[in-house]
Amino acid sequence: MSFVPVNPRPMLQELVDKDIVVRLKWGETEYKGRLVSIDSYMNIQLRDTEEYIDQKMTGTLGQVLIRCNNVLWIRAANQGEGGDVKMEG
């Protein structure tokens, strides 16, 4: 598997009004929802949001704002449910 660097701003603009998954830096917390908007600091606004902890849905939250410094990674929801990938070197 090869790594291709991606400029995050255009990638995130393409995901507006699509379902995404956001993984937080803290623990095994992920949010899945529809990307409403993203600002110049890359703060993220989601709607119809579901919270997952340890890959188990813990509840529906609705409208959510995630501050940029809490985000570990973002992906389109339809990219697969593989989760984290083991890095080998």
Closest CA relative to residue 23, chosen from 76, 59, 86? 76
CB atoms within 10 A of CB 9: 11
Q: Give 9-63 pLDDT, tens digit per residue.
A: 888 899 999 999 999 998 899 999 999 999 989 999 999 999 999 999 999 999 9
The pLDDT tens digits for 20-35 are 999 999 889 999 999 9
* Helix, strand or coil, per DSSP, at residue 70: helix
Residue 20: Cβ within 10 Å count: 21
61, 49 contact by CB (below 8 A): yes
Please tell me which residue, 79 or 23, carries the higher pLDDT value.
23
Fold of 8-78: SH3 type barrels. (2.30.30)
- pTM of the full structure: 0.79
Integer Cα distance of 2 and 6 in angstroms: 13
The reported pLDDT for the residue numbered 1 is 61
What residue has token string 């809490």? 70
Q: Which residue has the tokens 């699509």?
A: 18
- Residue 81 is predicted with a pLDDT of 57
